[in-house]
Amino acid sequence: MRADRRAHPLRIGFAGAGMVAELHALAISRSAEAGLTAVFDPDAELANARAAQWGCRAHATLDGLLADELDAIFVLTPTEAHVETAIAALETGKHTLVEKPVASDLGELERLVSVADAADVVCMPGHNYAYVPELARMRRLARDGRLGDLRLLSIMFAIAHTEEVAGHYEGVVRLVLPHHAYLAVGLLGLPERVSAGVTEPGWDHLSQPDQAWMALDYPPHGTALLFATLAVDDDSADPWTFVVKALGTKGSASATWRSGIYEADAGSMATGYAAYEESYELELAAFCRAVRGEGSAIASTLADAVAVERVLTAAETAARSHRAVRP
């Protein structure tokens, strides 16, 4: 990968100007290393409004965005457009960050990986939770053997979403569980078997799933229990909201989004979680370091995205067939 030692801040263009773009824009506004230069959204009215709000140029087409003077493209489109958009960005020599899930299926993802491998620029998945300091520390402790033999990784996500917001996505499995999967892959690698369940959705009108779980087998001693619901909040004592715990024979570690909490003014969630918001800033800092030639700054790579896709596909098969599946 080519090291990039430009004097000016990284000039970033957004493909997609929806809810997640608000969080990336906030992170960029707090960074001295990057600036938001241009935005494209097929909803021209939205693109123009965002450009006015963020003080950048608006484009009516992807070609227009890619022809602009930019160093990097953030692919923030609905998932089904990620791969086409990212490939177009890479082919015009732009460093590229692709939101999660990186692709809709393994075939598409492998197509992107082969273009990214041949490109002389960065292609980084938007695996933002991997940059949360407590979760980076957990991975370090586990890799250094400080936690001993990891017996349990537990990840609980309980954040109620409105039906209006949930309607933007294809369901909880591909909206939330990718985060759980790359955290599990980062700590424990690819599991040997995946069991999973997806409940009947409880929405009034939507048909996409609102709650799902996966159990990952890491023989001989390890288990990961991964749960996500968009249906309910946890208002009880020591609420889960988003809690990760790793229990090992020599130690344990945890992370929670409850460490800083306030009214949200950006993104898809009604509550603001400091750790979540900051994850976009830390992810951006890692992206900028990777562009400068420090590939090791990428905490969760495209290879991890491939492992995530294998786990999610296995989970979907497992949920349908009521049996454990090898990813």
Ligand X SMILES: NC(=O)c1ccc[n+]([C@@H]2O[C@H](COP(=O)([O-])OP(=O)(O)OC[C@H]3O[C@@H](n4cnc5c(N)ncnc54)[C@H](O)[C@@H]3O)[C@@H](O)[C@H]2O)c1
- Site of interaction with ligand X (CB under 6 A): 15-21, 40-43, 46, 62, 76-79, 81, 85, 99-100, 126, 128, 168, 175, 268
Q: Which is nearer to ligand X, 76 or 291 (CB)?
A: 76
Work out how close the CB of 2 gets to ligand X at its nearest, in angstroms, rounded to a whole number.
26
How crowded is the C-beta side of 217, counted as CA atoms within 13 Å? 15
Q: Which is nearer to ligand X, 252 or 271 (CB)?
A: 271
Of residues 266, 289, 319, the one with CA closest to residue 29 = 266
Describe the chain by its helix, strand, coil percentages, rounded to 5: 40, 25, 35
Q: Which is nearer to ligand X, 4 or 84 (CB)?
A: 84
DSSP 199: P
Q: Specify the pairing of strand 261-263 against strand 271-273.
A: antiparallel
Work out how close the CB of 1 gets to ligand X at its nearest, in angstroms, rounded to a whole number.
23
Q: Which is nearer to ligand X, 113 or 130 (CB)?
A: 130
Q: Which is nearer to ligand X, 18 or 251 (CB)?
A: 18
Work out how close the CB of 222 gets to ligand X at its nearest, in angstroms, rounded to a whole number.
26
Work out how close the CB of 56 gets to ligand X at its nearest, in angstroms, rounded to a whole number.
15
Residue nearest to ligand X (CB): 18
Work out how close the CB of 214 gets to ligand X at its nearest, in angstroms, rounded to a whole number.
17
Crossing angle between the packed helical segments 177-188 and 302-321, to the nearest 10 degrees: 120
Of residues 129, 157, 124, 98, the one with CA closest to residue 276 = 129
Q: What is the DSSP string of 13-51?
A: EEE--SHHHHHHHHHHHT-SSEEEEEEE-SSHHHHHHHH
Q: What is the dihedral of CA 157, 302, 120, 14, to 10 degrees?
A: -30
Locus of tokens 């288990």:
223
Q: Which is nearer to ligand X, 19 or 115 (CB)?
A: 19
Work out how close the CB of 296 gets to ligand X at its nearest, in angstroms, rounded to a whole number.
22
